[in-house]
Amino acid sequence: MEEKIQKCTQRWDTDTYEAIAVEVLEAIPFEYPGSATEVAYIYPEFTSVCPWTGLPDFGTLTISYIPRDKLVELKSLKYYLNSYRNVGVLQEHVVNRVKEDLVRLLDPVSLTVKGDFRPRGGIGTEVQADYRS
């Protein structure tokens, strides 16, 4: 007897890029411009979703930068990163989008965003995007 294999067609709704809350990002003054201070924020609870299936992606984002005259206010950064929670976005695009948004906000000397995403389908992903002024 031939068994039929059912394909899973389940899909969860996803938010679009418009749900990314760029407007919550705030900059605060950096009192030591020109000091070549490197700042790093590590966010081990980043989540977004696969744009095709809506299944969750989990990862650690590391944002490191040399500020010119502004820092990102941490509560606003947390709200911004949490706004990705249900956004259907590729992991490679997350890292570049975060980099672009923070460069626009801060005008840093340099900025790097690294994403270390948990395996999905047996493959983990590491992505890095760099900005140098």
The domains of the chain are located at: 29-132
Question: What is the pTM assigned to this prediction?
Answer: 0.90
Choice among 8, 15, 50, 116 that is catalytic? 50
Residue 57 known to be catalytic: yes
The domain 29-132 is placed in CATH, from the list 3.50.50.60, 3.40.50.300, 3.40.50.720, 3.30.1130.10, at 3.30.1130.10
Alpha carbons 50 and 125: distance in angstroms, whole number = 13
pLDDT tens track for 1-51: 566 666 656 777 899 999 999 999 999 999 999 999 999 999 999 999 999
Query: For strand 56-66 and strand 110-120, is the pairing parallel, antiparallel, or unpaired?
Result: antiparallel
Residue 46 backbone phi and psi in degrees, to 5: -70, 135
**48 closest CA partner among 97, 121, 6, 108:** 97
